[in-house]
């Protein structure tokens, strides 16, 4: 087996996981959720997004979240435009993320711009941020399939990632946005990306729409990927991707990685405590396998 000894899980629950939650989550609950995730050992995390409250009311408390949760860890904030970047700078954030869809149709429905138009705006911003010593992440949506355009060619994904790499991004989060990818496609694309862009961090982002997230993560591991976006409780979804369900659950990915003797630095018991904090405030119940198992056994799991 070609497996790494260590893998990094980037916790996206506080931002990607909650942004489309129907219930309004109290700010103090979000802060407690984030702090418990940090106690569990989550050193890289998407905390929130400086997006217009008109479009994402759940994240209207972004400034407060940053003020209470910033520390020496990598605390990513999504900055969809120049206004978002300005707010991030005001809050003294140094870790920012952008997103763009490989599919222009998806991109237009998401941010009312084609992929090419988005890149024309983003690349100069990224170069400027790198001059100011920001950590910059690019989130690449619809890297395998699009709900509007169907299958996405790997060549298009590699080319888009190359443009971001040339602009100086530190991390590329390559996403199976609607959860249609299979392990063969995953292994092929990530093998190409690792070979083409050896100096950039490559992160895999999977949704579990069809129950394939863990299989795809295993395929990505075999391709040399050792960074994965995951969401505590499997929270998340995308309003512009019909049928897409939550992200790969951090606790389920953690269980698999530890079973494969891959270190993560994250404690399962503490992670489940974080999920327990957020679940009562959600519009639905947490369905991840490890969390459900812990509830049935009425005790936290042990590794």
Q: Does residue 238 have an active-site annotation? A: yes
Cα maximum dimension of the chain = 53
pLDDT of residue 103: 96
Dihedral sign computed on CA atoms, order 43, 235, 91, 165: positive
Per-residue pLDDT for the chain (303 aa), expressed as one digit of tens each? 789 999 999 999 999 999 989 999 999 999 999 999 999 999 999 999 999 888 899 999 999 999 999 999 999 999 988 999 999 999 999 999 999 999 999 999 888 899 999 999 999 999 999 999 999 999 999 999 999 999 999 999 999 999 999 999 999 999 999 999 999 999 999 999 999 999 999 999 999 999 999 999 999 999 999 999 999 999 986 544 454 568 999 999 999 999 999 999 999 999 999 999 999 999 988 989 999 999 888 655 555
pLDDT of residue 109: 87
Residue matched to tokens 């870790």: 95
pLDDT of residue 246: 82
pLDDT of residue 111: 85
Q: Report, in angstroms and rounded to the nearest whole number, the Rg of the chain calculated over CA atoms.
A: 18
- Strand residues in 5-134 grouped as ranges (E): 8-11, 44-49, 74-78, 95-101
Catalytic residue among 42, 69, 93, 238: 238
Q: What is the number of other CB atoms lying within 10 angstroms of the CB of residue 259?
A: 9
Global confidence as pTM: 0.94
- Strand residues in the chain grouped as ranges (E): 8-11, 44-49, 74-78, 95-101, 135-141, 145-146, 150-151, 171-176, 201-206, 227-230
Token pair of 4 as six digits: 């790494």
Instruction: Identify the burial level of 168 via C-beta atoms within 10 angstroms of its C-beta, where 0-12 means exposed, 13-18 middle and 19 or more buried.
Output: middle
């Amino acid at each position: 087996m070609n497996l790494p000894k260590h893998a990094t899980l980037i916790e996206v629950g506080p931002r990607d996981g909650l942004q489309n939650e129907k219930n309004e989550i109290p700010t103090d609950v979000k802060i407690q959720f984030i702090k418990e995730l940090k106690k569990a050992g989550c050193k890289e995390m998407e905390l929130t997004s400086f997006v217009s409250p008109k479009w994402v009311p759940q994240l209207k408390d972004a400034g407060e979240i940053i003020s209470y949760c910033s520390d020496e860890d990598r605390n990513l904030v999504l900055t969809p435009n120049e206004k978002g970047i300005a707010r991030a700078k005001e809050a003294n954030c140094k870790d920012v993320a952008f997103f763009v869809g490989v599919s222009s149709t998806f991109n237009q429905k998401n941010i009312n711009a084609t992929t090419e138009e988005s890149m024309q705006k983003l690349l100069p911003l990224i170069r400027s941020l790198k001059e100011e010593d920001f950590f910059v992440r690019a989130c690449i949506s619809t890297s395998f399939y699009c709900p509007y355009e169907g299958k996405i060619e790997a060549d298009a994904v590699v080319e888009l990632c190359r443009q971001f790499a040339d602009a100086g991004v530190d991390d590329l989060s390559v996403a199976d946005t609607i959860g249609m990818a299979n392990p063969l496609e995953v292994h092929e694309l990530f093998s190409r990306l690792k070979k083409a862009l050896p100096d950039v961090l490559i992160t895999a982002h999977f949704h579990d729409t069809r129950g394939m997230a863990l299989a795809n993560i295993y395929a990505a591991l075999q391709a040399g990927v050792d960074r994965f976006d995951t969401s505590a409780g499997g929270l998340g979804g995308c309003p512009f991707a019909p049928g897409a369900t939550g992200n790969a659950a951090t606790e389920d990915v953690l269980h698999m990685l530890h079973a494969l003797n891959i270190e993560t630095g994250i404690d399962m018991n503490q992670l489940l405590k974080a999920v327990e904090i957020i679940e009562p405030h959600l519009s639905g119940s947490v369905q991840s396998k490890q969390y459900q198992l812990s509830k049935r056994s009425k005790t936290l799991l042990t590794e």
